[in-house]
A and B are shown apart, each in its own frame.
Chain A
Amino acid sequence: GAVVSQHPSWVICKSGTSVKIECRSLDFQATTMFWYRQFPKQSLMLMATSNEGSKATYEQGVEKDKFLINHASLTLSTLTVTSAHPEDSSFYICSAGTGNKGYTFGSGTRLTVV
């Protein structure tokens, strides 16, 4: 159990366009979802925390208008990178969970902005 599906697994987009990444909990309801980014050989860095039905909480230094997070249901959260630039190229990972079940990570999305 506790499977998190993340799509797409990789995406290449042109500079200035927007990209949406989906994170779904397949067999459980996730009251809380987290979005991370990871640069090569670096640890995961938390970007934001989203709770179903409320606004996401962004970590310091993360632009909320650039990284739009929507957690409209207990099984789906989306991260939209708006007006993407090459410096946004990174590995984005979501995790989902509830307080007593812990956390499960998605398989990640490799974003390349050209």
Chain B
Amino acid sequence: KNQVEQSPQSLIILEGKNCTLQCNYTVSPFSNLRWYKQDTGRGPVSLTIMTFSENTKSNGRYTATLDADTKQSSLHITASQLSDSASYICVVSAEAGTALIFGKGTTLSVSS
């Protein structure tokens, strides 16, 4: 069964600190993996997308890694800001252009 599991479910950190979110998946055949940021009451916004051959992708303070062998991905946030408070969703695409499998997300709260 195609599944995407994220951990932790929620996380609270102090402003300026770094954090890492985890995503494990069992999706086959694998096409790509995306990380999205979803602010409360808004649609998800894409942060990174990685295909099978990519193992690192950065977008500003966000760095995603992918280990296709172990089927694990992480999203590292550097020097967190209050505006980083949101839900971070890992989404795996099974087969090009078709099904998306969503993780339940990690809720990040950054406090001052």
Contacts and interface: CB of A to CB of B under 8 A. Distances in A.
- A and B: interacting chains: yes
A32 B102 contact: no
Contacts of B93: 102
A6 B43 contact: yes
B42 A107 contact: yes
Contacts of A98: 97
Contact of A99 (B36, B43, B89, B97): B97
B96 A99 contact: yes
Interface string A38-60: 00011110100000000000000
Given A43-B103, A98-B97, A104 B46 contact: yes
A91 interface: yes
With most chain B CB atoms within 10 A of its CB, the pick from A41, A97, A102, A108 is A102
Nearest to B96: A99
Report whether over half of chain A's contact residues are helix, strand or loop; otherwise say mixed.
strand
Interface residues of B, number: 20
Nearest to B6: A43
Given A32-B97, A100-B97, A102-B49, A43 B42 contact: no
With most chain B CB atoms within 10 A of its CB, the pick from A103, A106, A107, A108 is A103
B33 to A, nearest CB: 11
Contact of B43 (A41, A42, A102, A107): A107
A105 B103 contact: no
Contact of A105 (B45, B96, B105): B45
Interface of B: 32, 34, 36, 41-46, 49, 89, 93, 96-97, 100, 102-105, 107
